[in-house]
A = this chain, B = another copy of it.
Amino acid sequence: MILLDGRTLSEQIKSEITKEVKKEFLDKGKPAPHLAAVLVGEDPASQTYVANKEKSCREVGFTSSVYRYPENFTEKNLLEVVDFLNKDGDVDGFIVQLPLPKHINEHKIIERINPLKDVDGFHPVNVGRMMLNLPSFLPATPFGIMTLLERYHIETEGKHVVVLGRSNIVGTPISLMLSRKAKNANATVTLCHSYTPDIKKYTLDADILIVAMGKLGIVTADMVKKDAVVVDVGMHRIPAGDTKSGFRLKGDVVFDEVSKKCSAITPVPGGVGLMTIVSLLLNTLKASKKEIK
């Protein structure tokens, strides 16, 4: 069984990015790639996520900035911030951290972002271009999964990929990416979700199983084909008295039993989660190099 080790791989890719930033930017007297994040309100998970982004930016030599606003910040004001960042020549790419407070229309904000700076890949233009197999910013989590499969030489061509969960940010885009006519894609993909009556029927046939249901331990060994590749996108905080943080992270997959049956699997933590932030860095690098037009 191969552990698809997001920790080692993400460190390796960050080191590659660091070298490129030095060689292609700093050594040439160009300003480092600059990622900005906009954070509205006090959601603790969002605070942590943005802090991790800042940390990762520092590690690879990017400039990072965070625009923080209170919970009662208006939609109109947030649109003005987006307009400002769209025009700011010093910022290569930016993200508006989700979820936003309920009085703000997320879609309206996202559609206001200049698609050329939309390093989260959430703007409809980028989503549409992804489906049309045109160059675009890919959403970070599925992009991270694609990178993980590619770097571990997991063959996808002609394989049956079963995706559990059809969210806009993971399940649906990864199902599209893997079905495209492209290198490291060309898979036959089945997209399952809450309305699929018998998920096990599909998972048992999966050569590659991607689990993004957001349900703790929903995938057990009896649901997985022998020697399948299993990618776990789930991330759940389980209270644990014996850890420093007071909790332990678990995925949608029961790792202990499934890992004995499959040929490769991502752990939680240390799997897909770490690839997500690296993907955001790769998108920012692309944006700063003006690779998407």
A interface with B by C-beta (< 8 Å):
107, 123-129, 131-134, 157-158, 166, 168, 172-173, 175-176, 179-181, 186-197, 202
14 A-B pairs with CB atoms under 8 Å apart are: A124-B125, A126-B128, A128-B129, A131-B176, A133-B168, A166-B179, A179-B191, A179-B193, A181-B194, A186-B193, A187-B195, A188-B190, A190-B190, A190-B191
9 closest A-B pairs by CB: A124-B128, A127-B128, A128-B128, A186-B195, A190-B190, A188-B196, A124-B129, A124-B125, A158-B197
A132 to B169, CA, bound (A): 9
B107, B172, B187: the one contacting A131 at CB < 8 Å is B172
A188 touches B181 (CB 8 A): no
> Chain B residues with Cβ under 8 A from A131's Cβ?
127-128, 131, 168, 172-173, 176
B172 touches A188 (CB 8 A): no
> Chain B residues with Cβ under 8 A from A134's Cβ?
107, 124
A181 to B166, CA, bound (A): 9
Closest to A115 in B: B124
> Chain B residues with Cβ under 8 A from A158's Cβ?
195-197
B107, B180, B193: the one contacting A181 at CB < 8 Å is B193
Quote the shortest CB–CB distance from A139 to chain B (angstroms).
Answer: 11
